[in-house]
Structure 1
Amino acid sequence: MEQRQLGRTGLRVSHLGLGTLTWSRDTDEHDAAEQLRDFVEAGGTLVDTSASYADGGAEELLGSLLGGVVPRDEVVLCTKAGVRRTPDGGVVDASRGALLDGLDASLRRLGTDHVDLFLVQTPDPRTPLAETVSALRRAVDSGRARYVGLSNHPGWQVARAATLLGEDPGLAAVEAEYSLLQRGIEREVLPAAADLGVGVLAWSPLGRGVLTGKYRRTVPADSRAASPHLAGFVEPYLGSVAAAVVEAVVIAADGLGRAPLEVALAWLRVRAQVASAVVGARTPAQLRASLAAEDVELPPEILRALDEVSAPATGYPERR
């Protein structure tokens, strides 16, 4: 599997990453172990998790597999903090104390003394960005994180954080949703990241599973859209606008003799700024299907057609 440089850093990550959103909730320890083993054997390195996934359960499960199923030093471990657990549910908190306490808790669950990449999961309007950035700097200076970045932040915050961090330690990455069904980051996040040398990690490259084509006729009983805790996550992409994009992907896939998800991943793979596309497979079979997309190359005419049908709405000031 191709290894790509993350922005201007020396860190290299596999262009396909393994997401763990469903681990310990919809993906049990046996399937998780098989996924991790298959992923590393295929040359994958980037494993993405978060303290908020299954309220820490995903990190605990991943930690139990590191060193046993695969050696810790064979993976690039990325985790996120900034959503604090309370009796009433998750609360966004990117204050210095919450981020550093969250990182310490993540390290305990993961069974390691450091993560390779530490991200702030979501913007916190109540905490000054300078304070959030100071926590990222402290995470690197203390050795608890090798590189730091942001997740789901707008372009101006990416630019501001990169400016505050300077060259050392620098802002290594921004993780954001990016697929044929969600191209919003092309307006400001991608230009900011390109100018500042920040690497891009794309989460949900399969449009929350919708680009597989599984929802074209109905909602499968075993799918995320039928799950009580993930139905709301998928629902925004089940409308007519998304359906037109999905049909274009299916037509392209039929013409190439490949699966729709392979076409969707191949479209994203040629995006030069994307260091890694993080797939959150629920089952080993789903992950193997994504790994099978390695050899798919889309003809220029198909790339142009997919670009046109999925083009994001733009206006002033991005376009005049």
Structure 2
Amino acid sequence: MAFGAPSAHRAADDRYEKLGDYRRAGNSGLELPSFSFGLWQKFGTDRPCTTQREIVLHAFDLGITHFDNANRYGPPPRAAEKFFGTVLRRDLWPYRDELVLSTKAGNPLGPSPYLKGGSRKSLLASLDHSLRDLGTDYVDIFYSHSPDLSTPLEETVGALVTAVRSGKARYAGISNYSAERAREAAELLRNAGIPLLVHQPRYSIFDRRPELDGLLELAAEDGFGLVVYSPLAQGLLTDKYLDGTIPPGARARDSAFLSPDTIDDTYRERATALNEIARRRGQSLAQLALQWVLRQPQVTSALIGASSAWQLDHNLKALDFPPLTDEELTLIDRHGIHGTGSHP
């Protein structure tokens, strides 16, 4: 990836004062920032790498130390890891010990049976590839990206254990697992002497599965943290679609995870009501939505992306507002109905 002239980036001296909110991941000794930066979308070869780099460096200067990746992030797959590897080598290598880098494997990368699933071959080969792309000899967290019901859970967990014991990962994580399967994975990891550090589920005002299937209770009971993704429901919990139109460049135009059909009257009615709650608090709908997920003690960190430095600054201001009151939480429950805007 071409970035032009060699970097002279120096991280902001006051970066840890800017965010100021770091939380222990479950019962572990590892602290993560309340906001983590995800490279799921907007970090492929279809976007200017200079803009991407500016956003990542700005995130670090704001105190965000956790950068979340996966082998299939792009497009094409692995492009996001290669991009971050370039930034790490050029800009952030002096700060490697201050970074928490995570990656995932298991979701399909291609037609080969070895480029998907939870087998030892798939997971460990992908981890080696990710380390080459990132240009580092270890990641801090290695995840099983999704449960593979065709592979014994013992094999998938065994691969995570091997990754940690080999020194190629510091901690083990899982993502998109049901509460029941997460309980089994946590027990297998605990028996191997490698406690489950974090689970990465989708969680937002419009997607409450961690509440409904018992994952929040399990996290508290088993002592692992939650790093939640899509806290803004792919942009549905912003003011972007409140007028019923889909602006140019919005995810609802070209994303596999958000359909134009979801921008319907039911969605607009509920989102508008939530926006009014936020307005009365003096904040944006996005800030309200982020504050809502972070109120849960089991939530260690909320994953956010950004298409600009301004958007990143705006979202982090969610930490500046007073706690949500019981009355406000009741109103949010009334309008923030699970399944709103859902898309297969």
Return the TM-score normalized by structure 1: 0.91
Amino acid at match of 1:225: A
State how far apart, in whole Å, the 1-side matches of 2:178 and 2:45 are. 30
State how far apart, in whole Å, the 2-side matches of 1:246 and 1:23 are. 28
**Aligned ranges 1:15-94 → 2 under 5 Å:** 15-21=34-40, 22-54=42-74, 55-70=77-92, 71-87=95-111, 92-94=116-118
Matched, 1:220 2:216: no
**Aligned ranges 1:288-303 → 2 under 5 Å:** 288-300=313-325, 301-303=327-329
State how far apart, in whole Å, the 1-side matches of 2:176 and 2:265 are. 25
CA RMSD of aligned residues (A): 2.0
**In the TM superposition, what is the alpha-carbon distance from 1:295 to its structure 2 partner?**
0.4
2:190 alignment partner, one of 147, 157, 166: 166
State how far apart, in whole Å, the 1-side matches of 2:148 and 2:54 are. 36
Structure 1 stretches of 5 or more lacking a match? 314-320
The percentage of counterpart residues that share the same residue type is: 35
**Counterpart contact for 2:204–2:230, Cα < 8 Å:** yes
**In the TM superposition, what is the alpha-carbon distance from 1:89 to its structure 2 partner?**
11
State how far apart, in whole Å, the 1-side matches of 2:87 and 2:302 are. 22
**Counterpart contact for 1:76–1:116, Cα < 8 Å:** yes
Equivalent position of 1:316 in the other structure: none
- Cα distance change, pair 275–299 in 1 and its aligned pair in 2 (3 A): closer
Give CA-to-partner distance per residue, 1:225-249, whole Å, 9 cap, x none. Answer: 112xx1x312275345543431222
Moved more, 177-186 or 32-41: 32-41
SS at match of 1:172: strand
Moved more, 110-119 or 297-306: 297-306
Equivalent position of 2:201 in the other structure: 176
Aligned pair count reads 310
**Counterpart contact for 1:181–1:237, Cα < 8 Å:** no
Equivalent position of 2:331 in the other structure: 305
SS at match of 2:55: helix
Structure 2 stretches of 5 or more lacking a match? 1-18, 340-344
**Counterpart contact for 1:33–1:69, Cα < 8 Å:** no
Matched, 1:13 2:38: no
**In the TM superposition, what is the alpha-carbon distance from 1:290 to its structure 2 partner?**
1.2
**In the TM superposition, what is the alpha-carbon distance from 1:90 to its structure 2 partner?**
10
- Cα distance change, pair 196–291 in 1 and its aligned pair in 2 (3 A): same
State how far apart, in whole Å, the 1-side matches of 2:67 and 2:289 are. 20
2:154 alignment partner, one of 124, 130, 145: 130
State how far apart, in whole Å, the 1-side matches of 2:166 and 2:203 are. 32
SS at match of 2:194: coil
- Cα distance change, pair 73–238 in 1 and its aligned pair in 2 (3 A): farther
